[in-house]
Amino acid sequence: MDYMILIYQDSHMASMPADAPVSAPWIAYTQALIAAGVMVGGSRLAPPSTATMVQVRDGKRLVQDGPYADTKEQLAGYYLIKTPDLDAALDWAAKCPGALSGKIEVRPLAG
Amino acid sequence: MPAEAGEAARAVEHAARAAYGRLVAWLGGRSRDIAGAEDALADAFAAALATWPREGVPRRPEAWLLAVARRRMIDAARRRRTRDDAVATLLLAAEAEPEAAAFPDERLMLLFVCAHPAIDPAARTPLMLQTVLGLTAAEIAAAFLVTPAAMGQRLVRAKEKIRTAGIGFRIPDAPELAERTEAVLQAIYAAYGTGWEAAGPSALATEAIWLARTLAGLLDDEPEALGLLALLLFCESRRDARRDGAGRFVPLGAQDVALWSDTTLAEARGLLGRAAGFARIGRFQIEAAIQSVHAARRESGETDWPAIALLYEGLHGLAPTLGVAVGRAAALAEVQGPAAGLAALAGLAGDTYQPYWVLRADLLRRLGRADEARVAGERARALTADPALRAFLAGGVAATEA
């Protein structure tokens, strides 16, 4: 089954500049996912301040600066992994460096 | 040889009672689709009721039901044709149809699945009651004081979560096993508790005891599983004494000990002893120990309240639940007087927890605070549907079932 691993961190940590080097724990984690054959995709995201919101209502396009919600915790990155079941996905999420200081959402893909 | 319709119906009912949980566990475990398994089984039971009168009750009714339900599920999965359902089909088709005697009893595994942390906590015990015990959503709703519609929704969502999120169907490995065992024990305890109010034999209480027994049998190095079974058996031993000949409620302190069951008590005491041998104390063992002190009134003629109060101190440290806090307050009242008991109740929010109001009413009455006692007593009465208990409470004397 395919699962999104959504990494939420407090906005300070999610706001690291896009070109900041990736730290060793994250490199190791990504490599472990690849070596285990579960990695389908993934990326760190640029900071929430770089986000733009788009809506279309009544035929009118509305574009706004900023992320979806101005919350303390922000989406900082994601992985897409393939595991036999939820428990395996949860094990991988628990190993993610983001789990130590932030929160990880594990969501199956639909269908 | 055709069977009588009545004989066929009885055979179906017997198979349903004896094997429902095992069938759901086997089918659900292989497809990860509990709701689908339940639907397929309902079809199989209907098919049995239709064909067994004509063709006779099969030599192995459970195997027949399993085969029909399994084929229904495979057909349904093929019709759906999405990627994951194809996986389910393969799982089902790959495994050879088991012999009835050999089809493994995976109810314990199903219990652990229902206790998975990814499932809404409010749904875990209801799920266990429905899938392993075959209770209806309406029956479970009544036990949990919610509407059948709300409970039905909760159960549907939980099963959908299990299927869509792909919760694994296995008994968890060591570190999680300990966490989930606790949840399973609590659910069984809750199941027993909801069967407790009934006067006379209670199917739910009986099933809860069966579950506790199964768990104790399979986790034979887990003293808390032994403790839970001991606890339930201590409580069960008193069932015949809880109502008098006229059906009136009899509180624990007033019960006729001759009506307590010898054999059940002996078993409970043996289990508690075995649990103690592991030297790994836990909340269910302490609760069982408290019950064993109550049971000792049978031999000694009196209740050792200081011992009970001491045990409650230990229990409160481990499991500071409202129920334990109220029990502790009741014990303190017996040892240090009603004012001490009332003081212990002071920090607690009774809300809809009936024993809190029962105790409060009793303590206020003993302190001569009649008006306040009456208010609390009315609250206690309003919180129970049991007519015998209501009548007892209306009599102005509070019940303490500590």
CB contact (8 A) between residue A85 and residue B168: yes
- Position B272 scores a pLDDT of 97
Residue from B269, B233, B266, B235 nearest B252 by CA? B235
Contacts of B134 (CB under 8 A, 6+ apart): B16, B17, B20, B21, B24
Q: Which residues of B touch A89 (CB under 8 A)?
A: 166
Q: Which residues of A touch B172 (CB under 8 A)?
A: 87
Closest-CA distance, A67 to chain B, in angstroms, reads 27
> Chain A within 8 Å of B160 (Cβ-Cβ)?
no
CB neighbours of residue A59 within 10 Å: 5
| CA B133/CA B130 separation, integer angstroms | 6
Are B295 and B267 contacting, i.e. CB atoms less than 8 angstroms apart? no
Q: Which residues of A touch B29 (CB under 8 A)?
A: none
* Strand partners for A56: A61
Closest-CA distance, B316 to chain A, in angstroms, reads 32
> Chain B within 8 Å of A88 (Cβ-Cβ)?
yes
Are B249 and B399 contacting, i.e. CB atoms less than 8 angstroms apart? yes
Chain A interface, mutation test: which of B82, B164, B171, B180, most A Cβ atoms within 10 Å?
B164
> Chain B within 8 Å of A25 (Cβ-Cβ)?
no
| CA B109/CA B92 separation, integer angstroms | 18
CB contact (8 A) between residue A87 and residue B164: no
| CA B55/CA B5 separation, integer angstroms | 11
- Maximal C-alpha separation, chain A: 48
CB neighbours of residue A74 within 10 Å: 24
> Chain A within 8 Å of B90 (Cβ-Cβ)?
no
| pLDDT tens sequence across A16-34 | 777 778 789 999 999 999 9
Burial readout B70-80 (b: 16 or more C-beta within 10 A, e: otherwise): bebbbebbeee
Say which of A1, A84, A86 has its CB closest to residue B118.
Answer: A86
Q: Which residues of B touch A86 (CB under 8 A)?
A: 118, 165-168
> Is the ipTM of this structure higher than 0.95?
no
Are B159 and B127 contacting, i.e. CB atoms less than 8 angstroms apart? yes
Tokens of B253: 């302190």
> Chain B within 8 Å of A108 (Cβ-Cβ)?
yes
Task: Give me the amino acid identity at B319.
Answer: A
Backbone angles phi and psi of B335, in degrees to 5: -90, -40
CB contact (8 A) between residue A1 and residue B82: no
What is the CA angle B277-B281-B283, rounded to 5?
130
Are B211 and B191 contacting, i.e. CB atoms less than 8 angstroms apart? yes
Tokens of B206: 């009986």
pTM of the entire structure? Answer: 0.77
Place of tokens 């009332």: B342
Look up residue A36 and give its DSSP letter: T
Place of tokens 């009136």: B248
CB contact (8 A) between residue A111 and residue B166: no
- Pick out chain B residues at pLDDT < 70: 1-3, 81-102, 194-201, 203, 395-402
What is the CA angle B336-B342-B343, rounded to 5?
85
The separation between CA B93 and the C-alpha centre of its own chain, rounded to angstroms, equals 34
E strand spans, B165-271: none
Place of tokens 């198979």: B15
Task: Give me the amino acid identity at B288.
Answer: A
